[in-house]
């Protein structure tokens, strides 16, 4: 063995220092520098003896043979969509998300459905615990092997006997390798284990999915370099108190990052939600004031969501404004526009805004629906059934065009809406549509049309 070398690493950003200092000079965090043992020499690959060392030669682009890109179908339509059509052989995918959001459930569920041989490595739960979870999820495949192990060398040993078509590691923070002596979850362990797994994936053409913990500010725990090392970074998010979960891709070397998958957490695992608009809009036959439907686009998918507002007389001096799933600053801005342009005295009113389903939206195209919901609650007049909105509102009260309006209109039409409010300046590519397109240019026009 080579002699032991140590170095100091910032646990927040991964910067290396020759000696201990109180504040990281890179990310400015205090008390994050920790000494770690690094032994760079004597390191073996996951199976150095078998793979001959070959140096790559440069090739002209025209000389590179392109085999048809094979992708491993994960059966889960939402997961496939986010990946850009399935798992690419030899790729590393990192799935991050808050504790308890359903990362393990999602991956186990995929592992249990697939007809391929899968090795599910868990460093967090015992085989029994995983069995209990598997029993809830049901479709039990004969090809899914569960291994509870945290040492990479032992994992690779099992991999060479089982020869799986897919390896799932839950989670990268629990792994440790023999070649580094610091504790599991530390920056250098994570980096080293990830490097070993990447080598394994690339050399054996086996896709690997890693689960990553996230820190309290929502980034994946460990070095930022982890995100650079892997091919795809997915994020599983949602409000734990609600049933809907959103799977986003933050980075994807093999596809678009604009795609998004939606799941519903049920007693028997996660259900793919193929038609999200239908579940996000409540099926209420009564006319209720204070609700409006917005046609938004999340990623590449058009989505119809329900916005609820409650306007009531303020009890205390300063009126309360609170928004769930919508930017509070933007709400204040829209209220100021209403006050100035539409003559509503909202200054003495409490305004509460809620986007149903626990999802949060930052698409400006829901502005008009937010305003309509507020106006409807304020006047206690329900907005007619079958109306939806897709427009941004500017500071002058002007109704502004939004992106991908055609997609929004088509989605609204598909869901049986009869009228959609859009900006007069929005270019609409659709030749004909079965839905009435109401073009408006000012917020005053909308008020007149909706509430007479």
**Residues in the site for ligand TYD, rule: CB under 6 A?**
97, 99-105, 133, 136-137, 265, 267-269
Q: Which one of 9-17, 55-63, 80-88, 103-111 is the stretch in contact with Mg ion (CB under 5 A)?
A: 103-111
Q: Which does 127 bind (CB under 5 to 8 A by kind): ligand TYD, Mg ion, none?
A: none
Angle at 103 between CA 363 and CA 228, to 5 degrees: 70
Do 141 and 189 touch, CB atoms closer than 8 A?
Answer: no
Three-state secondary structure call for residue 105:
helix
Identified binder of Mg ion from the candidate list 12, 32, 104, 376, rule CB under 5 A? 104
Cβ of residue 124: shortest distance to Mg ion, in angstroms?
6
Binding residue per annotation — 102?
Answer: yes
Binding residue per annotation — 319?
Answer: no
Return the number of the residue (108 or 372) whose C-beta is nearest ligand TYD: 108
Return the number of the residue (18 or 99) whose C-beta is nearest ligand TYD: 99
Cβ of residue 133: shortest distance to Mg ion, in angstroms?
9
Binding residue per annotation — 104?
Answer: yes
Binding residue per annotation — 261?
Answer: no
Cβ of residue 104: shortest distance to ligand TYD, in angstroms?
3
Return the number of the residue (104 or 291) whose C-beta is nearest Mg ion: 104
Return the number of the residue (97 or 164) whose C-beta is nearest Mg ion: 97
Name the H helices within 30-141: 77-83, 103-113, 127-137
365, 368, 350: which is closest to 292 by C-alpha?
368
**Helix, strand, coil in percent for the chain, rounding step 5:** 30, 30, 45
Do 272 and 409 touch, CB atoms closer than 8 A?
Answer: no
Residue 170 CA to residue 108 CA, distance in Å, equals: 10
Binding residue per annotation — 364?
Answer: no
C-beta nearest to Mg ion: residue: 104
Do 164 and 117 touch, CB atoms closer than 8 A?
Answer: yes
Cβ of residue 94: shortest distance to ligand TYD, in angstroms?
13
Do 284 and 308 touch, CB atoms closer than 8 A?
Answer: no
Binding residue per annotation — 103?
Answer: yes
- 105 is an interface residue for Mg ion by CB under 5 A: no
Residue 364: CB partners within 8 Å, gap ≥ 6? 330, 392, 402
Binding residues: 97-104
**Contacting positions for Mg ion (CB under 5 A):** 104
Binding residues for ATP: 97-104
């Amino acid at each position: 063995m080579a002699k032991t070398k140590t170095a100091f690493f910032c646990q927040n950003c991964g910067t290396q220092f020759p000696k201990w200092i109180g504040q990281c000079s890179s990310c400015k965090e205090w008390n994050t520098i920790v000494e770690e043992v690094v032994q760079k020499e004597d390191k073996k690959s996951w199976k150095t003896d078998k793979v001959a060392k070959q140096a790559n030669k440069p090739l002209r682009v025209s000389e590179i043979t392109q085999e048809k890109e094979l992708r491993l179908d994960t059966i889960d339509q939402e997961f496939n969509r986010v990946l850009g059509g399935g798992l690419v052989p030899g790729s590393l995918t990192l799935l991050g998300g808050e504790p308890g959001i359903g990362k393990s459930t999602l991956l186990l569920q995929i592992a249990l459905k697939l007809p391929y041989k899968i090795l599910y490595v868990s460093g967090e739960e015992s085989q029994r615990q995983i069995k209990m979870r598997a029993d809830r999820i049901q479709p039990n495949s004969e090809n899914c092997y569960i291994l509870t192990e945290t040492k990479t060398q032992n994992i690779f040993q099992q991999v060479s006997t089982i020869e799986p078509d897919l390896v799932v590691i839950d989670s990268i923070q629990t792994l440790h390798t023999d070649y580094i002596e610091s504790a599991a979850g530390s920056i250098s362990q994570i980096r080293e284990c990830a490097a070993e797994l990447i080598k394994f994936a690339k050399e054996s053409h086996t896709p690997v999915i890693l689960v990553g913990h996230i820190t309290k500010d929502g980034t994946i725990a460990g070095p930022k370099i982890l995100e650079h090392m892997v091919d795809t970074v997915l994020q599983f998010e949602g409000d734990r108190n609600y049933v809907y979960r959103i799977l986003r891709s933050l980075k994807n070397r093999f596809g678009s990052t604009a795609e998004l998958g939606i799941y519903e957490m049920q007693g028997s695992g996660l259900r793919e939600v193929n038609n999200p608009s239908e579940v996000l809009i409540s099926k209420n036959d009564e006319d209720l004031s204070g609700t409006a439907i917005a046609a938004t686009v999340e990623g590449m998918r058009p989505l119809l969501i329900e916005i609820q507002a409650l306007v009531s007389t303020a009890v205390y001096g300063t009126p309360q404004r609170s928004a769930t799933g919508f930017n509070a600053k933007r709400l204040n801005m829209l209220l100021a526009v209403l006050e100035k342009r539409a003559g509503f005295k909202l200054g003495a009113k409490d305004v509460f805004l809620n986007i149903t389903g626990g999802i949060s939206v930052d698409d400006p195209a829901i502005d008009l629906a937010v305003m309509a919901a507020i106006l409807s609650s304020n006047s206690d007049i329900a907005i007619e059934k079958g109306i939806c909105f897709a427009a941004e509102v500017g500071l002058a009260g002007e109704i502004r065009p939004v992106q991908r309006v055609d997609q929004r209109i088509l989605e609204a039409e598909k869901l049986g809406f009869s009228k959609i409010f859009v900006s007069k300046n929005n270019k609409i590519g659709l030749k004909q549509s079965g839905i009435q397109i109401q073009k408006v240019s000012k917020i005053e026009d909308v008020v007149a049309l909706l509430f007479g």
